[in-house]
Amino acid sequence: MTPSDFSEYPDNDTCGWTSPDEREQLEIELLLEGVHRLYGYDFRNYALPSLRRRIWHQVHAERVTTISALQEKVLHDRECFERLVYSLSIPVTEMFRDPSLFRAFREKVVPLLRTYPYIRVWHAGCSTGEEVYSMAILLHEEGLYDKARIYATDMNGRSLQVAKEGVFGIEKMKLYTKNYQDAGGTRSFSEYYTARYNSVIFQPFLRKNMIFAEHNLATDQSFNEFNVIFCRNVMIYFDETLRNRVHSLFHQSLSHFGVLVLGAKESIHFTEYDDCYEPLDRVEKMYRKIK
């Protein structure tokens, strides 16, 4: 299925009262409004292009033909709603994703963290937890894990369940080992997991200071004060209004000189909080809160 498949309409559209584009827009709005009112999940400020693609993907996956038909199914069938949330959440991730960022974190942030009596890290939008295990390994190797707590949140309960178990596909270990080494890892990566058939389970000691919880960046409030917040490859799916809401939440949740880490395609610039941060590493999207 390609994006162009999603925008095809019959030539003989005789509805008359509105163009296909306007009707699609209306159907999307009604679907999102229904989901928000019935289930409390708010996708109304997600960026339209990817939202639209994912909705059409779900129309086909549910074997219906219109967004209105999807809406009916979603409102009457909780499992159908859960499949929609899973599809809209785009749970793509990997360990030590963007290795140069983790290397820069070791070089520029770890020295700051050494000066703190304890460390609180928040991974917002952690998906299935690969980023969280990467951070636990990094802090362990730097001798900081015992005084750290890693809070890992996502709106997607299914992804969080995978994260809590720490079981990942064995076929991914080749890439993760390379990422780990490129990120400045100092040991043999296989020390951190045990292989079982087609999967690996990460060592239980890595989980001991992790706290997993459902948290929705579109609707929930701040819940603690943090020295570091990672929120990578999440806000690219949000519109400007929602991005500003999330930046407000992070600004409230970071301690003075706390560090905010964004994804490679994200930036603090052009948000309402631009002047509250100074870059620690412009290329790697690491910023320090200064006011």
Cβ contact 66:59 at 8 Å: yes
* Of positions 4, 8, 10, 92, contacts ligand SAM by CB under 6 A: 92
Task: Examine residue 71 and tell whether it contacts ligand SAM (CB under 6 A).
Answer: no
How many whole angstroms separate alpha carbon 39 and alpha carbon 81? 9
Q: Of 28-36, 58-66, 193-201, 230-238, which segment contacts ligand SAM by CB under 6 A? A: 230-238
Q: What is the DSSP string of 6-25?
A: HT---TT----SS-HHHHHH
Residues 6+ apart with CB under 8 A from 188: none
- Quote the least distance from Cβ 234 to ligand SAM, whole Å: 4
- Quote the least distance from Cβ 139 to ligand SAM, whole Å: 17
Quick one: tokens of 37? Answer: 């009112």
Residue 244 sits at the vertex; the CA angle it makes with 217 and 215, to the nearest 5 degrees, is 5
- Quote the least distance from Cβ 84 to ligand SAM, whole Å: 12
Q: Name the residue nearer to ligand SAM (CB basis): 126 or 268.
A: 126
Task: Examine residue 93 and tell whether it contacts ligand SAM (CB under 6 A).
Answer: yes
- Quote the least distance from Cβ 191 to ligand SAM, whole Å: 23
Task: Examine residue 159 and tell whether it contacts ligand SAM (CB under 6 A).
Answer: yes
Residue 277 one-letter amino acid: Y
Task: Examine residue 58 and tell whether it contacts ligand SAM (CB under 6 A).
Answer: no
Quick one: tokens of 177? Answer: 């080992």
Task: Examine residue 15 and tell whether it contacts ligand SAM (CB under 6 A).
Answer: no
Task: Examine residue 121 and tell whether it contacts ligand SAM (CB under 6 A).
Answer: no
Task: Examine residue 268 and tell whether it contacts ligand SAM (CB under 6 A).
Answer: no
Residue 99 one-letter amino acid: P
Strands 199-202 and 167-169: antiparallel
Quick one: tokens of 194? Answer: 């045990």
- The residue behind tokens 């390994």 is 137
* Of positions 45, 58, 71, 89, contacts ligand SAM by CB under 6 A: 89
How many whole angstroms separate alpha carbon 132 and alpha carbon 127? 9
Task: Examine residue 216 and tell whether it contacts ligand SAM (CB under 6 A).
Answer: yes
* Of positions 109, 135, 139, 217, contacts ligand SAM by CB under 6 A: 217
* Of positions 90, 112, 167, 264, contacts ligand SAM by CB under 6 A: 90
Task: Examine residue 243 and tell whether it contacts ligand SAM (CB under 6 A).
Answer: no
Q: Name the residue nearer to ligand SAM (CB basis): 16 or 169.
A: 169
Contacts 24+ apart (CB under 8 A), 16-25: 24/52, 24/67
Task: Examine residue 228 and tell whether it contacts ligand SAM (CB under 6 A).
Answer: no
Task: Examine residue 134 and tell whether it contacts ligand SAM (CB under 6 A).
Answer: no
- Most distant CA pair in the chain: distance in Å? 69
Residue 233 sits at the vertex; the CA angle it makes with 215 and 146, to the nearest 5 degrees, is 60
* Residues contributing to the site for ligand SAM (CB under 6 A): 89-93, 97, 125-127, 131, 154-156, 159, 216-218, 232-234, 263
